[in-house]
Amino acid sequence: MEKNAKIYVAGHRGLVGGSIVRCLKEKGYTNIITRTHKELDLLNQAAVNEFFATEKPEYVFLAAAHVGGIGANSTYPADFIYQNMVIGFNVVEAARVNGVKKLMNLGSTCIYPKMAEQPIKEESLLTGPLEPTNDAYALAKISVIKLCTAYNKQHGTNFLSVMPTNLYGLGDNYELQGSHVFPAMIRKFHEAKASGEDVVHLWGDGSPLREFLYAGDLADAVVYLMENKNAEDLRTPTGDFVNVGTGRECTIKELAETVEDVVYADVRKDGRRCRMEWDPSKPNGTPRKLCDVTRLNALGWKAKVDVREGVEISYDDFLHGDVRK
């Protein structure tokens, strides 16, 4: 991508989109265009077509999505499948019609079967049943991957897709009813410390294994791929996409212990700690989910931020950043 190329980042106010915009600016890109939901409703195909026809972006990062944790996915499956599928299809089709040079579609590793062999390879797509608590979201994301791959085959487009693992980072969503486990834990431990209760109630039994990727690292990865690779470089028998992760995992219990350690660091000298109460009646989700990042590493990119550093960055952002609380 040329530094003055017109680049559209869809979903720039979200965790991923915001990280991509920051990464692009840091790398010297000067012609980034964005639109808020009020300015452009991505569920409206006519509006999306008009925007692309008028602005003529050369490169597109599709980071717009309707997202949430286990609770939100289980409660509102219709919203998750409909909105994510329509957003993806509208943007990808408009990009094709208007001759976009390259598009980066942001997916999720929830596309893989619940009991996929670990670490999860890209070839595992559609080889077994999905995790029931987020199958609606996963089906929408799978559909957009397949659409990009089909367009590359039929229309000669250059549409890439990446499947990032569990994300966190600057500007995350810390609302307890709609957030993911990483930011939810930060808020829960902070509120316990602030209230003096020093007890946190957590879902499940803490045993699931998870991989966590800093959103700034993801942004660096997708910009690197857009700068250096094409769809054919990401091609697998199941689609033109690649996993993005760290290749490292921890249990949810270990994550909770790390968050507690960081949040309570300033009062540790007073002997304050936080007791964790686990609720096994709540769903654990997939028992284990670790990306195989062999292909990504071979393409020349590796993650930099580990979980401990990531918790420290996120907690500082929660305290001092412009976050949704």
List 8, 59, 112, 137, catalytic entry = 137
Reported as a pLDDT band with limits 50, 70 and 90, residue 178 is: low
- Give the span between the Cα atoms of 152 and 312, in whole angstroms: 41
Its pTM stands at 0.92
Q: Is 137 a catalytic residue?
A: yes
Residue numbering of the annotated binding site: 11-17, 106-109, 141, 164-167, 180, 188, 203, 210
Give the Cβ contact number of residue 89 at 10 Å.
16
Segments of the chain assigned E as strands? 7-10, 32-33, 59-62, 102-106, 159-164, 166-168, 199-203, 209-210, 212-214, 235-236, 239-244, 250-251, 275-279, 288-289
Higher pLDDT, 61 or 73: 61
For the CA atoms of 313, 316, 320, 321, the dihedral, rounded to the nearest 10 degrees, stands at 20
CA-wise closest residue to 291 among 142, 119, 114 = 119
Q: Is the pLDDT of residue 81 over 90?
A: yes
CB distance 325 to 186 below 8 Å? no
CA-wise closest residue to 109 among 119, 95, 96 = 119
- Looking at CATH, the fold of the domain delimited by 7-171+210-248+289-306 is given as Rossmann fold (3.40.50)
Q: What mean pLDDT, rounded, does the chain reach?
A: 94
Residue numbering of the annotated binding site for substrate: 188, 203, 210
Q: Is the pLDDT of residue 323 over 80?
A: no
Residue numbering of the annotated binding site for NADP(+): 11-17, 106-109, 141, 164-167, 180
- What percentage of the chain reaches a pLDDT higher than 70? 98
Q: Is the pLDDT of residue 174 over 70?
A: yes
Q: Is the pLDDT of residue 325 over 80?
A: no
* Residue ranges of domains in the chain: 7-171+210-248+289-306
